[in-house]
Structure 1
């Protein structure tokens, strides 16, 4: 795990020390030791270190189409996001990114917020998909399952109108990409458009949900109007 100090914004006439944050650059776990919550424990250790420095904010980027990362970052750690960076790292040749733009979410982790504390200390039951649907959340891009068990996005998607909305992504984007690269491109560019337009309309990613429908895994981001994201800071 590697990170460094950064600043939240440039403000003429104010020293950088007033706007410090922790930039979490990279975290990795050796393949032999994955699926043991080591990554999660490392992030909790990072949170303690950030708090000990007197900082409130840590930021990092990740690929929004990787559902495991979405669940880990948003659901478990409690990050929020309203920044989408197109092709953040330029052309990359690794197995994850080759042939696709390196689009990323740029997320905020307010380490001492009630939202984060509630998650990392597991103080209460978190809402499920049905809870959000009862509050009026609808899926902007409901997918359908097609050949080879792959999920296909709709030809057209809706814009969010209510306080809450859901954005579907493939539950296993890497498998989908390996089988049908053109379909992976469609998902990449459609979700890019959805998130960019939603963020411009003052929505934030505030939760991530795994569920099963007819025994098939489904994955959703929850968008919420910024003013409706409770305990963010």
Structure 2
């Protein structure tokens, strides 16, 4: 991992490069007190309505006791600054699904948690980690696709239904299923701090662009299509709910439509747009 300190941290029988240049230490969690601390951290991040918590203390206890993944990231002062919970997924022995990860911004905890999670999975013979994220959030798309080397493999409209928290309230819960294939060259390069930039040929077309803060549909019949997302969807939800809704439906129609047709997302370009490659005859005939 770029910026990792020499040495490592051993937690739960797994040797983890858990100390970063920012002084973040990651370890597995097992006690009720630790889970209660995670619940308080997540409440501060999501500010959910009662019953809308991303994960409960009881569920974290059950996941941990059953051998699943629950881990916390701690700053140099020993305070919890991030946490993640996930469970083993089908097919048996191949995958971990990371259900929720939350971290304080600007502390490096999110990356440290993912590196720890990868080491945990590899030590158990797993091949991949999956998770969902909002396709409209630029920083998450850049983090997942560029910094980690994961790739979207499924578009999931309104995946969680209505969500009652400060981040998602008032919007539909479309999600991308990101798949992190742990031993692939793009992933190992990203973990070393050497992410591979997506290939964007000069004849790539804008399938979805932006003008004055609103989405502008374009062409989707080329081999490589760029799909833009808004600069800051969370602020836009509060300032202009109509524009935020327009982006949601436009990205669902264009990105979701392309993926449903079998097109592959191969990267995230200049922190602003998805790179989507089509492989059908129609695309090649329209080049």
TM-score clears 0.5: yes
Matched, 1:152 2:214: yes
Residue aligning to 2:132? 61
Q: Deviations over 1:129-170 (max 9, x none)?
A: xx6143x2221112112xxxxx1112x4322421x2210011
Partner SS state of residue 200, structure 2: helix
Name the CA shift for 1:140/1:42 in 2 (closer, same or farther; >3 Å): same
User: 1:200: which partner in 2?
Assistant: 260
> Which residue of 248, 264, 281 maps to 1:188?
248
Structure 2 Cα separation of the partners of residues 224 and 43 of structure 1:
27
Runs of 4+ in 1 over 4 A off after TM superposition: none
Bigger Cα Rg: 2
The aligned counterpart of 1:80 is 151
**Offset at residue 23 of structure 1 (A):** 0.7
Residue in structure 2 matched with residue 103 of structure 1 by the alignment: 174
Check 1:226–1:62 CA distance in 2 against 1; reply closer, same or farther (3 A cut).
Answer: farther
Match for residue 214 of structure 1? none
* Relative contact order higher in (CA < 8 Å, ≥ 6 apart): 1
Give the secondary structure class of the aligned counterpart of 1:166: strand
The 3-state SS of whatever aligns with 1:89 is coil
User: What TM-score results when the alignment is normalised by the length of structure 2?
Assistant: 0.64
Tell me by how many angstroms 1:226 deviates. 7.0
Using the alignment, how far apart are the partners of 2:243 and 2:157 within structure 1? 19
Structure 1: runs of 5+ lacking an equivalent: 9-15, 146-150, 212-218, 228-233
Gaps of 5+ in 2: 1-83, 281-287
Aligned residues: 197
Q: 1:127 to 1:6 in 2, by over 3 A?
A: closer
